[in-house]
Chains A and B, each alone.
Chain A
Amino acid sequence: MKDHIVPVRTYVIIFLALIVLTWVTTAIAFVDLGPFNVYVALTIAVIKATLVVLFFMHVKYNERVTKIYVGAGFFWLLIMIGMVLTDYISRLWLPANGAW
């Protein structure tokens, strides 16, 4: 890693963005959006986590090998939750006492 020193300004902007997003997600939680409440809450959480990873954790400034490992770690989580949910969501699609 190049000895990259991030300007204070960048850290403060990211900090303010994280605070504002926390307010927004808290406020939206009380508005009835039907099924979209879940998606909005999780999307904001993913945006916040991405900001922390890229700037506070310096991954934006790291070299490619570190980025690949970081990406692999989070991608693994998507595979696990995605495949587990594929199972549970699709179970009800089968007839209870069908040809299976």
Chain B
Amino acid sequence: MPETVAAAHHHHNPALVHQFDNEEQQRTASTLGMWIFLATEIMFFGGLFAAYTVYRYLNPHAFAEASHHMSVKAGAINTTVLICSSLTMAMAVRSAQLSSKKATAWFIIVTMIFGIAFLGIKAIEYHEHYVEGAAPGVNWTITGNDARQIELLFCFYFIMTGMHAFHMIVGLGLMSYLLTCTLKNRFSAAYYSPVEIIGLYWHFVDIVWIFLFPMLYLIGQHLKT
């Protein structure tokens, strides 16, 4: 970037902090920083995914049987809800880029509603597992030759979906922060990095679910007799 352009920008945008040459460089830095954080999140969920893969490889039949205890309908509806929330989140970022405060606020609110709906459906599923006796350590009544291995899958299920749900709750907290800042006129076309990077976080949590859905609900359904 030519320094003259950078110097000119310094006096125009109060959101541009002095260690950056211009808005473009500042946005690149925050996006890159967020992706480095998301790489650590890939490592975090990656450990769970790898452990799940190993135990699924070692106990394919028990894991397939366990997937028959899942409600594919609830899982598919929740996947759809999260995809809708990703669209509204993307639209919230777009509205912030266009300095449209009202649209940004509404899209954030709708995204939060989808997020809460997801958690509600997840809670109903957890309750059904509990009632059915498929909650390891709390209420476990499934018996048979593969009972221990099925219990193992349910441990993976509760830890993986639980960590995912925890990320959703954190996301909802971040959304409330974004909503407050939006209503205080903090964002405009000149500065919307928080909307952009919290959007990245929200989409990332969506991606984790995009993998959890086939892994926990779908694979093994065709073996149902």
Interface residues, chain A, with chain B CB atoms under 8 Å away: 1-3, 5-6, 8, 11-12, 15, 18-19, 22-23, 25-26, 29-33, 37-38, 41-42, 44-45, 48-49, 52-53, 55-58, 62-63, 65-66, 69-70, 72-74, 76-77, 80-81, 84-85, 88-89
Determine the distance from Cα of A73 to Cα of B197 in the docked complex, in whole angstroms: 17
- Assess the A56–B203 pair: CB atoms within 8 A: yes
Q: Is the interface of A mostly helix, strand, loop or mixed?
A: helix
Question: What's the nearest-Cβ distance from chain A to residue B94, in Å?
Answer: 6
Q: Which of A1, A31, A69, A74 contacts B222 (CB 8 A)?
A: A31
Interface assignment of B189: CB less than 8 Å from any CB of chain A = yes
Interface assignment of B43: CB less than 8 Å from any CB of chain A = yes
- Assess the B214–A85 pair: CB atoms within 8 A: no
Interface residues on B, range: 35 or more
Q: Which of B23, B97, B207, B221 contacts A29 (CB 8 A)?
A: B221
Determine the distance from Cα of A52 to Cα of B223 in the docked complex, in whole angstroms: 30
Q: Which of A45, A58, A76 contacts B214 (CB 8 A)?
A: A45
In the complex, chain B residues whose CB is within 8 Å of the CB of A44: 214
| Contacts A11-B94, A37-B220 known; 9 new A-B pairs at CB < 8 A | A3-B23, A3-B97, A22-B80, A29-B217, A45-B214, A49-B210, A53-B207, A81-B49, A89-B57
**Which of B82-90, B120-128, B151-159, B173-181 is the contact stretch?**
B82-90
- Assess the A32–B39 pair: CB atoms within 8 A: no
- Assess the A57–B200 pair: CB atoms within 8 A: yes
Known: A52-B206, A56-B203, A84-B50. A69 touches B80 (CB 8 A): no
Interface residues, chain B, with chain A CB atoms under 8 Å away: 23-24, 27-28, 31-32, 35-36, 38-39, 42-43, 46-47, 49-50, 53-54, 57-58, 72, 76, 79-80, 83-84, 86-87, 89-91, 94, 97-98, 189, 196, 199-200, 203-204, 206-207, 210-211, 213-215, 217-224
In the complex, residue of chain A having the shortest beta-carbon distance to the beta carbon of B67: A29
Question: What's the nearest-Cβ distance from chain B to residue A16, in Å?
Answer: 10
In the complex, chain B residues whose CB is within 8 Å of the CB of A55: 90
- Assess the B222–A30 pair: CB atoms within 8 A: yes
- Assess the A88–B57 pair: CB atoms within 8 A: yes
Q: Which of B28, B43, B58, B90 contacts A1 (CB 8 A)?
A: B28
Known: A11-B94, A15-B87, A70-B35. A29 touches B211 (CB 8 A): no
Q: Which of A6, A26, A52 contacts B218 (CB 8 A)?
A: A26
Determine the distance from Cα of A12 to Cα of B90 in the docked complex, in whole angstroms: 10
In the complex, chain A residues whose CB is within 8 Å of the CB of B94: 5-6, 8, 11
User: Which has the most chain B C-beta neighbours within 10 Å: A32, A56, A70, A81?
Assistant: A56
